[in-house]
Every structure is written in structure tokens, then in C-alpha cells.
Homo-oligomer: A and B are copies of this chain.
Amino acid sequence: MSEEKENMQTAGKDIPRATARRLPIYYRYLKILLDSGVTRISSNELSKAVKFDAATIRRDFSYFGALGKRGYGYDVKELMEFFGDILNQDNLASVALIGVGNLGQALLNFNFHQSSNARISAAFDVNPEIVNTIQSGVPIYSTDDLEKQIQDQRIEVAILTVPAEVAQQTAKRLANAGIQGILNFTPLRLDVPKEVRVQNVDLTNELQILLYFINNFEKDEN
């Protein structure tokens, strides 16, 4: 297959990864600002809220064009709507949750929908006691029906919260079923075809990193 790396001008330009990771954070704060009646904001004020350097914020915004006004700042509503478009906020994404254990259960309750353009529309587990029930408004299917449901419901993203032992084989099935992205909560580094994007969320790791920094740097920057 030919990879169309140049063709991604669709919604944004060639946005640096570090900038992309900050977009949802900007978006969230802009929404808060708008809700509390703030109509304009400067990069310096925003900097205090989101804790990124003001120059970083201005540079980030500038990748999308000249969104501000010199001597004035940025119009909150305008900016928020702009980022809303980039983040596809008017388009609800259906997400599958694979593995309804402790963490899976919590994520079902978590209600991503409230704070993002995504919604868990199907969950899967092997436990016959919960299969075919509805938890937090989400139907639990048997893992046997993984491929069928993903295709029927046109689900593009999966949240993987299965035990480590079955993580790799499940990821393979997800990839075969046409999933485009996996939010991976297992500690394994998944092997997937290159067209599938994996975003790792490794809770044990985050805690260990925090402990490492505390033990090794008495005081330092964030």
C-alpha cells in the first residue's frame, strides 16, 4: 500500500506531535473559560492555567495560522470552535472496551462522552456472568463476537483492558477486525500492523516514574 504522508492536509497541517498532544488540553481549558464568561485570553494568561510556556502556546497556535490579534490576544469562542473542528468534536466516535475487569468497569462508568467526542458503545468480556448484560448503559458482548460487533457498529478505536496474558492475541484480533487505534492499558508493548496506532497508558509505569524522580531528584523542574 502506498502511504499518503503528504495527503494529510485534510483538517490540520503537519502538526508536531508535541503540539498535537496539547490540543485537547487547550480545548478543555477554552471550554471552561467560555463557560465562565471569559471572552478573550492572552498566551500569558493561558500559560498560567495550562502550565506550558506562553511562547510554546503561541507557537502551537501559529501552526494553524494567525489565530490571535496583536495587542489583544485570542478570542476564546473563536479559538475553541477552531480547535473543536480540528479535534472533530461534532463527530461522536464509537469506542469498544475489551475486558470488563476492575479497570474496564471503571472506564465504563467514567463516561468519556461527557468530556470528549467519544463514547463506549460496546464492551466485551469472556465472563459468562456479565455477557449479555448492560453495565452503565453499555451492552457487554461475548469476546467471541468481537469481530462481528466491531464491523457491524463500525468501531474504529478499542480500549484494551484485558489481562496481560491475552493482550497480544486480542490486539491481533482487533487489528484483523479493522480497528485503527488501541488505547492500551496492559503493560505489554503490542505488536500490531503499522496502520494501527497504539497509545499506551501504563499505570504502574507512571507510578514508578514518579517514585524514581522523587527518589533521585530532591528538587527539580516539573
Contact = CB atoms under 8 A, between A and B. Distances in A.
A197 B212 contact: no
B205 A25 contact: yes
A3 B217 CA distance: 9
Interface string A203-222: 11111111111111111111
Contacts of A25: 189, 202, 205
Given A49-B189, A201-B201, A207-B183, A213 B24 contact: no
Interface of A: 3-4, 7-8, 10-13, 15, 17, 20-21, 23-25, 27-28, 49-51, 86-88, 93, 95, 102-103, 105-107, 109-110, 112, 115-118, 156-157, 159, 180-181, 183, 187, 189, 194-195, 197-222
Copies per complex? Answer: 2
Nearest to A187: B28
B205 A24 contact: yes
Contact of A215 (B50, B88, B110): B88
